[in-house]
Amino acid sequence: MTPGAHDRLSAALLALHQRARTAAVASFQAEALAVVDELIGFDSALWGCGRLGAGGPIPHSVHLDRQPPEMMASYEEIKAHDPSVRASATHLGRTSNVAIDHLGEGVHPGAVAHARRYGMRHTLATLLADPDLRLFSAVSLYRADPARPFSEADRQLAQAVVPHLEETWTWCRLRAVDDGGSARHARMLCDPCGVIHAASAGLASELRREWPAWRGPDVPAPIVPILATPGARFVGAAVVVTGGAVGALRLLTVRGITALDRLTAREAEVARRFGQGASHVAIATALGIAPATVRNHVQAIYRKLGVGDKAALANALRDDASA
């Protein structure tokens, strides 16, 4: 890669990360591909994301750049014969440079006709896969002119930039649903059936604290019941998972369990009020229970949290809030 190409790549990566902080989710992929177009130059593109199934990639979403929607219907008929998919799947993370007219007679005629019809005479195809989450991201850049092939320098630039496309796209989606506090915890977006669509770094390791053998793309089965109720929680031996809704998707936040998570709902409420300075009588009046019941709750709270007075309880609550 030439020094000039390094400079252009650096500028493109900077632009991608800037857009991940500012662009709307609905426009990010178009804006990101425009950055790549400035870097490499292409006539059209496809950016797909999804899960890895037993029979191959199963897309969750497909973003088309300067391709008609009917292209995907046509592609379904020949996808088993797509040489660019075979090439990129053989070397995950490595961009393949495929010229459909130069592959010889072994290429399926339907694949050749499809490529020529939709301006895919030259393709830079990159397939990324996460072995833990079993998710994939595929980016294909196309040129229509048979006499305008992609160069080896173009291929190297695509291979360098595509992982940043996936990372910034994930970051953009999670940024858009940040509630101001959950960003410090592992998060994932999944559909109502529990199939993960996007996840922050470290999600797999967090979930494996509770389920050591877990692999995606489906969330662990004990989490599924909370998907239907925003705000519902799963409290396990090692992690707490909290559910929320984001349009048609679900946002799940995963964090390590704290001592406070082991309190009952009533104990947690008493602990919060008592730690803030309320008296036994005031808490009893607010919650409609007897002062003696409040005292019993406080003793149970002290025992579970391993503290012995109100000041220590207040410190435990502050530590829990920052966890």
Domain CATH number, residue 283: 1.10.10.10
**For residues 7-20, average pLDDT:** 95
Cβ burial 111-136 (10 Å sphere, 16+ → b, else e): bbebbeebbbbbbbbbbbebeebbbb
Long-range contacts (CB closer than 8 Å, 24 or more residues apart) made by 61-67: 61/197, 63/29, 63/30, 63/33, 65/30, 65/33, 67/118, 67/142
Q: Is the pLDDT of residue 240 over 60?
A: yes
CA dist list (Å): 168 to 49, 217, 294 = 13, 20, 49
pLDDT tens digits for range 249-265: 999 999 988 877 878 88
Looking at the structure, do residues 188 and 124 belong to the same domain, yes or no?
no
pLDDT digit string, tens, across residues 191-216: 999 999 999 988 999 999 999 999 99
Please give the Cα distance from 192 to 224 (Å, whole number). 8
Average pLDDT for 4-10: 90
pLDDT for 302:
87
How many helices (H) and strands (E) in the chain? 11, 10
Return the structure tokens found at 289. Answer: 């229970």
Confidence (pTM) = 0.80
Q: Which residue, 262, 254, 245, is CA-closest to 300?
A: 262
pLDDT band at residue 105, thresholds of 50, 70 and 90?
confident
- Identify the weakest region by mean pLDDT among 60-74, 290-304, 307-321: 307-321
Percent of the chain exceeding pLDDT 70 equals 95
If pLDDT is split at 50, 70 and 90, which confidence band does 104 have?
confident
Q: Do residues 237 and 269 share a domain?
A: no
Same domain, 218 and 245: yes
Domain that holds residue 193: 182-257
Q: Dihedral sign, CA of 164, 21, 193, 203?
A: positive
The one-character DSSP state at 61 is E
- pLDDT tens-digit series, residues 58-67: 888 999 999 9
Residue 42 or residue 261, greater confidence: 42
| Residues in contact with 4: Cβ distance below 8 Å, sequence separation at least 6, in sequence order | none
Give the CATH number of the domain where residue 222 resides: 3.40.1840.10
193 and 167 co-located in one domain? no
The pLDDT-based confidence of 321 (bands split at 50, 70, 90) is low
Q: How confident is the model at residue 115 (pLDDT cuts 50, 70, 90)?
A: very high
Verify that 18 and 162 share a domain, yes or no.
yes
Q: Of the ranges 7-21, 232-246, 277-291, which is most confident?
A: 7-21
Which of 176, 191, 216 is the endpoint of a domain? 176
CB 258 within 8 A of CB 323: yes
Do residues 272 and 244 share a domain? no
Query: What pLDDT sits at residue 323?
Result: 52
pLDDT at 178: 67
Count the domains in the chain: 3
Which range (37-51, 133-147, 175-189, 204-218) has the least confidence? 175-189
